[in-house]
A and B are shown apart, each in its own frame.
Chain A
Amino acid sequence: MEETILELKGIAKRFGDTPVLNGISISIQKGEFITLLGPSGCGKTTTLRIIAGLETPDEGRVILNGQDVTDTEPNKRDVNTVFQNYALFPHMTVAANIGYGLKLKKRPKDEIKKAVDDALALVQLEGYGKRMPSELSGGQRQRVAIARALVNRPSVLLLDEPLGALDLQLRRQMQLELKALQKKLGITFIYITHDQEEALNMSDRIVVMNGGHFEQIGSPAQVYDSPRTSYVARFVGTANVLRGTVEAVEGDALRIQCAGGCAGALRRGYDFAPGAPITLAVRSEHVEFTKDPAACGLPATIREKTFAGGMLRITLELSDGSTLIASRHGIDMDVRTGEAVRVTWAAANAVPVDVEASEAK
């Protein structure tokens, strides 16, 4: 099972004077669904284009199936791409679009026809072969683009925000279908999105990208529950990030001085000395508060209450002026704006982030 299919080694790329990728490395297993997650301009599309061969890296190697393909032209790589805007050839029928790759490989005509029909069935578009791309809806075009790439049975399928142009409902449906398709075919998917929900839903592993480097690589659970950096914590599931000082280390538990109060956290494999600065990430659903002024916690004032998406969001202002978000299910909660409270959380829910020198394990 653990069979490396694609390896990036120290890939760097700059456009003119602007560095886009700063030496990224990753090794991807066969049959994996891996997502590059990050905001626009973080270098994820460039990474994909380098894997596809549409860009040449300034530094580093691309190893595909054990072979160095860094300098191989895109048409000679066993990799196919689903483009962001689908890039269907407007002058060819759906069938001709899907069969194009096989035609270039000089496969016999009846074999192409069968493969095209199978591919159409795979994406549930039987009987659409004779249509032109302009006669299809956005979702249908999307399916054709996927079929066109899959019909060549590439070692790796690259998908560049394939669902970006679809509406929310269709997006959700296509997410499920894509995941099912990937499981069925066992092809490695490298998927790009800026939507953290999509990434968490579909991926085996998520690569969080920021400013041309990898912030964290891990399973959805790892990335969500144990963000390594404050960036990941904020980008995936919008966590609160607080700065404080380590007061005491007691086994695995940390006591932390923070914003005029005290709080707890777990060490999570990092080494801390008392007095060391620390940054904590706490998810909004884990933030609790009590009206008991004597309780241990961070003194705060309730500033705002908003209701969105089935969740009540409470904005709290800490004594050092920074704000903190807490969220709760349901609409009623016995808090009023302007009220003074104390914020607490379970130690297990506070994750130390941005810890440099001492690597975790």
Chain B
Amino acid sequence: MKTPSVPLKKKKRSSVWVTLIPLYLFTLLFVAGPLVYMFVLSFQTRAEVWGVVNQFTLDNYKNILQPVYLNTFVESFKLAITSTLLICAIGYPFGYFMAKLSPAWKKRVMLLLMIPFWTSSLIRLYGWIIIFRANGTLDKLLMGLGLTDSPLKLLYTYPAVVVGMVYALLQFMILAVYSSAEKMDWSLVEAARDLGATPLKAFLTVTLKLTLPGLLSGVILTFIPSMGLFFIADILGGNKVVLVGSLIQDQLMKAHNWPFAAALSVVLMILTSLMISLYKRITHTTELEGIL
């Protein structure tokens, strides 16, 4: 009694896969395609005047090892690490405290967070220009309080860029920490306290462990973009701070050295992937906390 149910199964599913065509086409053509081309381009040679010559070379990668460029990577990393640490220090307590609010206040705080979040990042950065500019809000405040007697000239300095980065990316950390702290079973902390742990010990052994995925996800969500946000360095740092992002932009737009820009991007991409796979290794999840 073998039944001809096999053709039926095929018939049943035949229509559904059609819905995948747009995503497959689009992904292969406009995501995979360009990324593959970036990889190819990074091994090609720059033409004398304009464009690219199809000749294999490793020079672009060797080029990165030049002190000028290597230094950019190092500086970029330093800035990213500084910003990320600051973001952790400010954002983690925020997300943690926020998760302990009453449901009604959670909603209100969330709404308040969303408005700056949805506001154009340029607008918000522009606000900082007003604050940092010579004789701007901050100078006036500090001089008014008698803390300084001359303008600090904070605009176009390294600290200004750090503030800009922290400001632009802080919400990612807050949301990531909040979403994992909110899911946490607080009775576990009570259980730890009940079993004799001090508040600090309970925090370190239970709370921190359970909110670690959120914290790490926040680190990734802030660290990775902070290396590429060249316009923050541009607006708040003048040309004093050069990021990998700025370097790539210059190589593309000004020097027209596309293969080199591609090589830089490949290296940046590899660093990014390493961080994400490390995150996955530690947390055993594939999805970033709080990204939705």
Complex: A in contact with B (CB within 8 Å):
yes
Residues in chain A within 8 A of chain B (CB atoms): 9-10, 56-61, 70-71, 73
A9 to B1, CA, bound (A): 10
A57 to B8, CA, bound (A): 11
Q: Which of B167-188 contact A (CB under 8 A)?
A: none
Q: Shortest CB–CB separation between residue B35 and chain A, in angstroms?
A: 36
A-B pairs, 6 with minimum CB distance: A71-B8, A56-B5, A10-B1, A59-B1, A59-B3, A56-B8
Would B12 and A61 count as touching, CB distance under 8 A?
Answer: no
A59 to B6, CA, bound (A): 11
Would B9 and A59 count as touching, CB distance under 8 A?
Answer: no
Our pick among B5, B9, B12 for the contact of A70 (Cβ within 8 Å) is B5
Q: Shortest CB–CB separation between residue A216 and chain B, in angstroms?
A: 24
A58 to B9, CA, bound (A): 11
Our pick among A9, A10, A58 for the contact of B5 (Cβ within 8 Å) is A58
Interface string of B1-31 (1 = CB under 8 A from A): 1111100110010000000000000000000
Give the residues in chain A near B4, CB-CB below 8 Å. Answer: 71
A10 to B3, CA, bound (A): 11
Give the residues in chain B near A58, CB-CB below 8 Å. Answer: 3, 5
Residues in chain B within 8 A of chain A (CB atoms): 1-5, 8-9, 12
Which residue of chain A has its CB nearest to the CB of B5? A56
A58 to B2, CA, bound (A): 8
Q: Shortest CB–CB separation between residue A11 and chain B, in angstroms?
A: 10
A9 to B8, CA, bound (A): 19
Would B1 and A71 count as touching, CB distance under 8 A?
Answer: no
Q: Shortest CB–CB separation between residue B7 and chain A, in angstroms?
A: 8
A254 to B5, CA, bound (A): 50
A320 to B9, CA, bound (A): 55
Would B8 and A60 count as touching, CB distance under 8 A?
Answer: no
Q: Can you pick out 17 interface pairs between chain A and chain B where the beta carbons lie within 8 Å of each other? A: A9-B1, A56-B5, A56-B8, A57-B3, A57-B5, A58-B3, A58-B5, A59-B1, A59-B2, A59-B3, A60-B3, A61-B1, A61-B3, A71-B4, A71-B5, A71-B8, A73-B12
Would B1 and A60 count as touching, CB distance under 8 A?
Answer: yes
Which residue of chain B has its CB nearest to the CB of A10? B1
A61 to B9, CA, bound (A): 15
A56 to B8, CA, bound (A): 9
13 further interface pairs, Cβ-Cβ under 8 Å (given A57-B3, A58-B3, A61-B1): A56-B9, A57-B5, A58-B5, A59-B2, A59-B3, A60-B1, A61-B3, A70-B3, A70-B5, A71-B4, A71-B5, A71-B8, A73-B12
Q: Shortest CB–CB separation between residue A22 and chain B, in angstroms?
A: 13
A59 to B2, CA, bound (A): 6
Give the residues in chain B near A57, CB-CB below 8 Å. Answer: 3, 5
Give the residues in chain A near B1, CB-CB below 8 Å. Answer: 9-10, 59-61
A70 to B2, CA, bound (A): 12
Give the residues in chain A near B8, CB-CB below 8 Å. Answer: 56, 71
Which residue of chain B has its CB nearest to the CB of A61? B3
A10 to B1, CA, bound (A): 8
Q: Shortest CB–CB separation between residue B81 and chain A, in angstroms?
A: 48
Give the residues in chain B near A70, CB-CB below 8 Å. Answer: 3, 5
Interface centre among B3, B4, B9, B12 (most CB of A within 10 A): B3
Q: Shortest CB–CB separation between residue A68 and chain B, in angstroms?
A: 10
Q: Shortest CB–CB separation between residue B120 and chain A, in angstroms?
A: 35
Q: Shortest CB–CB separation between residue A231 and chain B, in angstroms?
A: 26
Which residue of chain B has its CB nearest to the CB of A12? B1
Q: Shortest CB–CB separation between residue B238 and chain A, in angstroms?
A: 55
A71 to B8, CA, bound (A): 6
A290 to B23, CA, bound (A): 79
A9 to B3, CA, bound (A): 11
Interface centre among A59, A60, A71, A73 (most CB of B within 10 A): A71
Give the residues in chain B near A61, CB-CB below 8 Å. Answer: 1, 3
Give the residues in chain A near B12, CB-CB below 8 Å. Answer: 73
A9 to B4, CA, bound (A): 15
Q: Shortest CB–CB separation between residue B246 and chain A, in angstroms?
A: 50
A56 to B2, CA, bound (A): 13
Q: Shortest CB–CB separation between residue A9 and chain B, in angstroms?
A: 8
Which residue of chain A has its CB nearest to the CB of B12? A73
Q: Shortest CB–CB separation between residue A295 and chain B, in angstroms?
A: 55
Give the residues in chain B near A60, CB-CB below 8 Å. Answer: 1, 3
A60 to B4, CA, bound (A): 10
Q: Shortest CB–CB separation between residue B190 and chain A, in angstroms?
A: 32
A73 to B4, CA, bound (A): 14
Give the residues in chain A near B5, CB-CB below 8 Å. Answer: 56-58, 70-71
Give the residues in chain A near B2, CB-CB below 8 Å. Answer: 59
Give the residues in chain A near B9, CB-CB below 8 Å. Answer: 56
Which residue of chain B has its CB nearest to the CB of A71? B8
Interface centre among B1, B8, B9, B12 (most CB of A within 10 A): B1
A10 to B8, CA, bound (A): 19
Q: Shortest CB–CB separation between residue A53 and chain B, in angstroms?
A: 10
Give the residues in chain B near A9, CB-CB below 8 Å. Answer: 1
Q: Shortest CB–CB separation between residue A59 and chain B, in angstroms?
A: 6
Give the residues in chain B near A73, CB-CB below 8 Å. Answer: 12
A57 to B5, CA, bound (A): 8
A71 to B11, CA, bound (A): 10
Q: Shortest CB–CB separation between residue A81 and chain B, in angstroms?
A: 18
